[in-house]
Amino acid sequence: MRTLTFTLPDPFPLLNVQQRKHYRTRQREKIATARRIAAELSGEIPAEPFTRAHVLIIRYSTGTPDLDGLYGGAKDLLDCLTTPELQANGKIRNKFGIGLIVDDSPKHITLTVEPRVCKRAEARTVVTVTEMVGAEVMA
């Protein structure tokens, strides 16, 4: 069972913030996040993505967000963990992904997102991706 953990310097934006951004701005931020994750992991990215994984995201911030905003805001971060895939129509699915997990669908991941209250100077996002094998997949 392999585990990868990385820390992003800021809490990820919540759903309300994401929805109000222009799609090009959101796209640029996804690219920046994917690059930041790749730099954080520097050489730890597996040759083959995890087929089945548990993703734990802990968002440290000064306030406690509502759960729908918390889980919805994690979408762009999850998109950065996926594997790009060429579709039959010629478009690339998950084009911003760095290849840690096959896909972010329930078939491939279980997701836990937790809010933690901290001081403003300690705000960050900690992501742990744990490969699930054998009996864990059956659960």
Q: Is the pLDDT of residue 26 over 90?
A: yes
- CATH number of the domain where residue 91 is located: 3.30.1330.70
Split into its structural domains, the chain has a count of: 1
- The predicted model gives 15-33 an average pLDDT of 94
pLDDT above 70 covers a percentage of the chain that reads 96
C-beta atoms surrounding 23 within 10 Å: 7
**Phi/psi at 81 (5° precision):** -90, -15
pTM of the model: 0.90
Boundaries of domain holding 63? 3-138
Question: What residue type is assigned to position 37 of the chain?
Answer: I
Helix (H, G, I), strand (E, B) or coil at 15: helix
